[in-house]
């Protein structure tokens, strides 16, 4: 099981790879927090739904919200698929991640199992409230969401099936 700090590093690596023109992921381990695209994604309050300096900024606000929320939950989704060996043991099962954005009200996030059609996680949040005061807060949030989804998957796939 991953810790919040480990998930934070995975998120940082993912963002570097996705938004820094192929910047090598290992650079994520050597940069300071403020240099990460993650900092612009989720650190500190912002004016509006998505920080204009963020790597996920889009002229279409809804696309920016999708990118912002998807980036966060994609890390957890990918780790759960590894932890539960979703592709090999439970093929053709996989975890679907859906983000329904709103710049006027709450955006919805749903993760569910494709074949079983069972919801693993459902959450809604106003995009302008999707930030943390510091990296430790973000790591804690990642860990809490990851643990919640792990518990739910443990109920769906009892240990003997893993």
What does pTM read for this prediction?
A: 0.79
pLDDT given at position 123 = 96
pLDDT in tens, 3-47: 988 898 888 777 777 766 554 444 444 444 444 455 555 555 566
Indicate the pLDDT class of residue 161, thresholds 50, 70 and 90: very low
The listed range with the strongest mean pLDDT (15-19, 41-45, 64-68, 156-160) is 64-68
Nearest one of 126, 121, 92 to 109, comparing CA atoms: 121
Fold annotation for 4-157? Putative cytoplasmic protein (1.10.3100)
Tokens in use for 50? 């998505």
Range name among 15-19, 36-40, 53-57, 63-67 with the lowest pLDDT average: 36-40
Nearest one of 7, 5, 14, 18 to 150, comparing CA atoms: 7
């Amino acid at each position: 099981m991953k810790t919040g700090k480990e998930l934070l590093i995975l998120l940082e690596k993912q963002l570097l790879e996705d938004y820094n023109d192929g910047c090598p992921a290992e650079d994520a381990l050597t940069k300071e927090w403020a240099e990460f695209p993650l900092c612009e994604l989720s650190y500190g309050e912002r004016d509006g739904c998505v920080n204009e300096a963020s790597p996920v900024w889009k002229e279409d606000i809804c696309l920016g919200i999708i990118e912002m929320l998807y980036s966060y939950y994609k890390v957890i989704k990918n780790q759960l698929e590894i932890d539960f060996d979703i592709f090999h043991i439970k093929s053709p099962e996989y975890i679907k991640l859906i983000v329904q954005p709103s710049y006027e009200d709450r955006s919805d996030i749903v993760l569910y199992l494709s074949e079983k059609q069972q919801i693993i996680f459902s959450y809604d949040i106003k995009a302008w409230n999707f930030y943390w005061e510091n990296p430790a807060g973000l790591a804690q949030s990642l860990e809490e969401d990851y643990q919640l989804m792990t518990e739910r998957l443990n109920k769906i796939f009892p240990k003997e099936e893993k």
